[in-house]
A = this chain, B = another copy of it.
Amino acid sequence: MITSTSNDKVKRLTQLQASSRARREAGLFVTEGIRIIREIPGDQIQEIYCSESFYKKNKDVVEALPVKPVLLSDAVFKKVADTKTPQGILAVACQSHYELEDILNKKKLTLLVMENLQNPGNLGTLLRTGEAADITGVILSRDSVDIYNPKVIRGSMGAFLRVPFVYTDDLPDTLQKLKEKGVKTFATHLDAKKNCYEIKYPEKMALLIGNEGNGLSDVITEFADHKILIPMAGKVESLNAAVAASVLIYEIYRQKLGF
């Protein structure tokens, strides 16, 4: 059992929790909780860490996992956990890699494209909402928050494992590829002439979602085939970013379901 935070494995865990760069360079991520760990395909799991007391209480469950656990004292586990009241188990697993071509190689496409999305809670929520509303893939500009950020993982309720995604260094170039594949793009815009309920969404489409504070950049807005707005009564000037995107995602899904 590891009882010191100066242990190399512990230092490595702390680094993987805190730094998206460390995660990217190692091609790994860390996730906490037995439920989500069970959802990770066995061959993706590299290491499992348990607190002493979690192991004692859940020995059978832990031993049934595909990788033998490393035990940490409760104090050390609390140090490496990202949550305030950790359950007592975490896994280090390999990041998934998808190619844009795989994501686009489908007859029907409902894509989310995120430009410079910053809030990990928002990305987690949008992955969760997106999976529930049958989104087929997510494209993120490189300056968006890391999908393997512990807060994204928690907020997504496992959707990060199931929704294919790619980061792109050149979003305009990627959008150009989408155009060539016949994907129609939609962006919310205050000057839009149509609202989101007046549109019949096509079989291949992408919803462009901008930064929480600044919205989409002019360059990316220019790429949009259609500008739409969400109708609003009252005096509020905008909706919460995750709410606005979720309302649109579900309107698209409603139409897809034929209601």
Contacts and interface: CB of A to CB of B under 8 A. Distances in A.
Interface of A: 125, 128-129, 131-134, 155, 157-159, 162-163, 195, 197-198, 230-240, 242-243, 246-247, 250-251, 253-254, 257, 259
B259 A198 contact: yes
Given A250-B247, A253-B231, A257-B231, A236 B131 contact: yes
B236 A157 contact: yes
A240 B134 contact: no
A232 B249 CA distance: 12
Nearest to A234: B131
Specify how many copies of this chain sit in the oligomer.
Answer: 2
A239 B162 contact: no
Contacts of A162: 234-235
A158 B235 contact: yes
A129 B231 CA distance: 11
A37 to B, nearest CB: 15
Contacts of A253: 231, 233
Contacts of A133: 232-233
A38 to B, nearest CB: 12
Contact of A240 (B128, B198, B239, B250): B128
Contact of A234 (B132, B197, B238, B242): B132
A236 B125 contact: no
B235 A131 contact: yes
A115 B246 CA distance: 23
26 contacts: A125-B240, A128-B236, A128-B240, A128-B243, A129-B239, A129-B240, A131-B235, A131-B236, A132-B232, A132-B234, A134-B234, A155-B240, A157-B236, A157-B237, A157-B238, A158-B236, A162-B234, A162-B235, A163-B234, A195-B259, A197-B254, A197-B259, A231-B253, A242-B243, A246-B246, A246-B247
Nearest to A132: B232
A254 B49 CA distance: 49
Of A155, A195, A234, A251, most buried by chain B (CB within 10 Å of CB) is A234
A144 to B, nearest CB: 19
A244 to B, nearest CB: 9
A190 B198 CA distance: 30
